[in-house]
Amino acid sequence: AIEEADFLAIDGEFSGISDGPSVSALTNGFDTPEERYQKLKKHSMDFLLFQFGLCTFKYDLTESKYIMKSFNFYIFPKPFNRTSPDVKFVCQSSSIDFLANQGFDFNKVFRNGIPYLNQEEERQLREQYDEKRSQANGVGSLSYVSPSAAKCPVTIPEDQKKFIEKVVERIEDLLQNEESTSLELEPCTGKVDEEERKRREQQKQAKEQEELKDAVGFSRVIHALANSGKLVVGHNMLLDIMHTIHQFYCPLPEVSAFAVFLILLNLAGNVLGGRLLDTKLMASTQPFKDLINNTSLAELEKRLKETPFSPPKVESAEGFPSYDTASEQLHEAGYDAYITGLCFISMANFLGSFLSPPKNHVSARSQLMEPFFNKLFLMRVMDIPYLNLEGPDLQPKRDHVLYVTFPKEWKTSDLYQLFSAFGNIQVSWIDDTSAFVSLSQPEQVQIAVNTSKYAESYRIQTYAEYVEKKREEKRQAKRKWMEDGWKEADEKRLKTQATPYVLQKKMLFGK
């Protein structure tokens, strides 16, 4: 389905969203892309992505419609064997309760969920198999290892059971029969010629390969996405992408500012398809922005059926479940992926109306899509609409923004009162004792800072001063870290971690 598709749509359901602050505190209006990434990494990665929805869309030229195949994968890190990782994940009651109200089937996750391994775990398991095999070859063949070498009771192969049982029976007879004192047993060393040995070896290897495939499990779907080079569409997809990387590829690394960019490049090029497109960002960008009021997935899907948009022609492939958008099954990952795909098709086709002559169908590969590629929507950031995977992020002027600290008893109304002389203001809470306050005029900033100089209960700084202070704190923390004798360890870590991302960057820029 992936191979034949024109584009793919994805969606994930998680066991929770935030194990720290409330979601509103997690997404401050003046987060930088790096800060947002760091917050989500810190507070969201211990949850489990336990349902992955994938919809493939293939355009049928002769019928002028899309053929869709939808998949709902239930995911669970079932331990593969005694030495495999015993994953612990966090559940958030409110998220679980929300999904329960949507009729989510938790038994399917926990009883029948598909296992997965990240790249390092897969490598380790392969090594384990290789080691076992080379050990077995060293002492002949594993099937004929002496029992005393094994740490646990030997399992008798099915085809040898009868033979063994007969021997045991004869020995028991000997022990019970007081008259007999000896017993001659048939030789029982395996007599297998070279050809038979090879055949068995091959059989065993084939079985091991199957076991390995089963253990890698759902990660194989992610690898297939990665190798396809196809456009992958999601709605407000930053968290989906982060979880996908974290769970099926490698734990998200600690990063400094620039590394975020490199990692996300790596992610876009390597882990999920060739290019990403976020329908929430697309709907928030011109020419759609002025036509669409509400960009939540359900509302967007409804809006895009009405003029000036047209409902897309999509049909389920034979043997695949069909979804009815009239009776919503929102928050099943497969359904959400499906309507994300519908939204993308409607918006893509709408762009065709600006061409001369106008076109009814615009393909996922059209140049018209390029402005929307590889930009992930940043939820609730006021002046940076997206995280750019292909270049430096936007650096908005924040010369009208103040950083204000105050006693923890203060409420939003206290801030409105403090700034009542300055007309309209916007408040973005950071924590109990600080917030960003944006004024309507940058010229007012210096007045506000000056008048606060003699205040005792609160303090006002410019956004630039705030950024400089943060940077200085980081520099000092780093210096202290180095002085504490971690320099060597640090260098070692950087050497092993940073290389793949740097290489990846080159590869991508070389394309």
Minimal distance in Å, beta carbon 280 to its own copies?
25
Q: Per CB under 8 A, which of residues 111..170 are in contact with its own copies? A: 111
Helix (H, G, I), strand (E, B) or coil at 314: strand
Minimal distance in Å, beta carbon 433 to its own copies?
19
The reply to whether 109 sits near its own copies by the rule CB under 8 A is yes
The reply to whether 176 sits near its own copies by the rule CB under 8 A is no
- Contact yes or no for 304/341 (Cβ under 8 A): no
Minimal distance in Å, beta carbon 121 to its own copies?
13
- 386 CB neighbour count, 10 Å cutoff: 21
What is the DSSP secondary structure assignment for residue 393, as one 8-state letter?
A: P
Torsion, Cα of 252, 34, 39, 296 (10° steps): -100
Binding mask 447-486 for its own copies (x = CB under 8 A): ----------------------------------------
* 76 residue type, one letter: F
The reply to whether 16 sits near its own copies by the rule CB under 8 A is yes
- Of these, 106, 320, 422, 429, which contacts its own copies (CB under 8 A)? 106
Helix (H, G, I), strand (E, B) or coil at 336: helix
Q: Identify the helix (H) or strand (E) that includes residue 473.
A: helix 463-481
Minimal distance in Å, beta carbon 78 to its own copies?
5
- Contact yes or no for 339/301 (Cβ under 8 A): yes
Nearer to its own copies, 99 or 268 (CB): 99
Nearer to its own copies, 47 or 57 (CB): 47
The reply to whether 42 sits near its own copies by the rule CB under 8 A is no
Minimal distance in Å, beta carbon 84 to its own copies?
9
Minimal distance in Å, beta carbon 62 to its own copies?
45
- Of these, 34, 35, 105, 390, which contacts its own copies (CB under 8 A)? 105
Nearer to its own copies, 80 or 261 (CB): 80
- Of these, 19, 34, 383, 390, which contacts its own copies (CB under 8 A)? 19
Q: CA–CA separation, 399 vs 419, rounded Å?
A: 16
Nearer to its own copies, 92 or 363 (CB): 92
Torsion, Cα of 169, 172, 176, 181 (10° steps): 100
Residue-by-residue DSSP string for 95-136: HHHHHHHTT--HHHHHHH-B-B--HHHHHHHHHHHHHHHHHH
Nearer to its own copies, 83 or 440 (CB): 83
Q: CA–CA separation, 104 vs 98, rounded Å?
A: 9
Size of residue set near its own copies by CB under 8 A: 28
Minimal distance in Å, beta carbon 120 to its own copies?
17
Phi, psi of 117, deg, nearest 5: -135, 145
The reply to whether 354 sits near its own copies by the rule CB under 8 A is no
Helix (H, G, I), strand (E, B) or coil at 13: strand
Minimal distance in Å, beta carbon 80 to its own copies?
10
Nearer to its own copies, 91 or 317 (CB): 91
Stretch that binds its own copies, among 15-23, 236-244, 330-338, 497-505 (CB under 8 A): 15-23
CB-based burial, 392-421: b 16+ in 10 Å, e otherwise: ebbeeebebbbbbbbeeebeeeebeebbee
Q: Per CB under 8 A, which of residues 43..102 are in contact with its own copies? A: 48, 76-79, 86-94, 96-97, 99-100
- Contact yes or no for 143/157 (Cβ under 8 A): yes
Reference 351, options 422, 280, 283; nearest CA is: 283
Residues at the interface with its own copies (CB under 8 A): 15-16, 19, 48, 76-79, 86-94, 96-97, 99-100, 104-107, 109-111
